[in-house]
Chains A and B, each alone.
Chain A
Amino acid sequence: MAEPEKQPISIEALKRGDRSEFARMVDAYSLHIYRLAMRMLSNPQEAEDVLQETFLKALRALPNFEGRSSLSTWLYRIAVNEALMVIRKRKPELSLSRPAEDGEEDDNGEEMQIVDWGHMPESELLSLEARRNIDQAVEKLPETLRVVFLLRDVEGLSIEETADSLGISQAAVKTRLLRARLRLRDELSNYYRERMKES
């Protein structure tokens, strides 16, 4: 979240319970939190629940907010934890701190796709069908890779902020980001190779 607000949100005003400032914070960050939750959960109702819980928890915790991390990193941390709780209900074995999750093992054994699809016209790269495929490719990533990719590449957090939001090391963020990006690239290469054959 690259500080989307025009005027910086006042932490002091938030801490003293200024409702107008809190409403401004909600408007500044709600799209980012909702988008993250939607792309982590692929379920509009669950994403809305995460959105509401995130700001309810933020409202309760604001008096104790110490500002050691930025407001946005703090909100992402709450949202990620909420979304992971939803996922854990589906998959009780999920843990972010475990080094290798299902499907997160080294990809060394897999052949890389070498298809030069980068020069296809934008109208084909971003057709409605292609967009669905891109969304599905992100959905297919294991949660531990997906959340790193979403925070870093979609929400624009730094490696340090992503690590801080997830409570994992920067080295783990870099490793997972590489794997996520390579997997997505392979998925998209498979898809665009077929489109290139058709045209």
Chain B
Amino acid sequence: MNDPSHAHKCDHLIATISEYVDGSLSPQLCAELEKHLRECENCTVVVDTLRKTISLVQTCAEDDCLPGEVRARLFHTLDLDDFVKNDAMV
């Protein structure tokens, strides 16, 4: 990114990478970005690590659970004690 015009291109395209990783970027901007990525190693690293960042947070969140005592207190508060044992009803 040493060439100023190249760096400007990087800055301009970085604004589109969030929609790019979501697959919602317009075909024209998508083609422009992919052309740039073939020539710019730094932006390729940014796109790859951005994807990885999202995936890692999602993996960590998948391990979250609702503690049994929190669920029991919730059901009690909602006057649903009759249903508290049916934890696999859905």
Contact = CB atoms under 8 A, between A and B. Distances in A.
Interface of A: 4-7, 19-20, 22-24, 26-28, 30-31, 34-35, 38-39, 48, 51-52, 55-56, 59, 108, 112, 114-118, 125-126, 130-131, 134-135, 138, 149, 153-154, 159, 174, 177-178, 181-182, 184-185, 188-189
B2 interface: no
Interface string B27-65: 000000000000000100110111111101111110011
A117 B78 contact: no
Interface size class of B (residues with CB under 8 A): 35 or more
B53 A184 contact: yes
Given A181-B18, A185-B53, 10 more contacts: A6-B90, A7-B90, A51-B74, A52-B77, A55-B77, A116-B48, A118-B52, A131-B60, A153-B58, A154-B61
A30 B66 contact: yes
Contact of B18 (A22, A55, A174): A174
Contacts of A116: 45, 48-49
B74 A52 contact: yes
Interface of B: 11, 14-15, 17-19, 24, 42, 45-46, 48-54, 56-61, 64-66, 70-71, 73-75, 77-78, 80, 82-83, 86-87, 89-90
Contacts of B64: 31, 34-35, 38
Contacts of B61: 35, 39, 154
A31 B90 CA distance: 13
A159 to B, nearest CB: 8
A191 to B, nearest CB: 11
Contacts of B49: 115-118, 185, 188-189
A117 B80 CA distance: 48
B53 A188 contact: yes
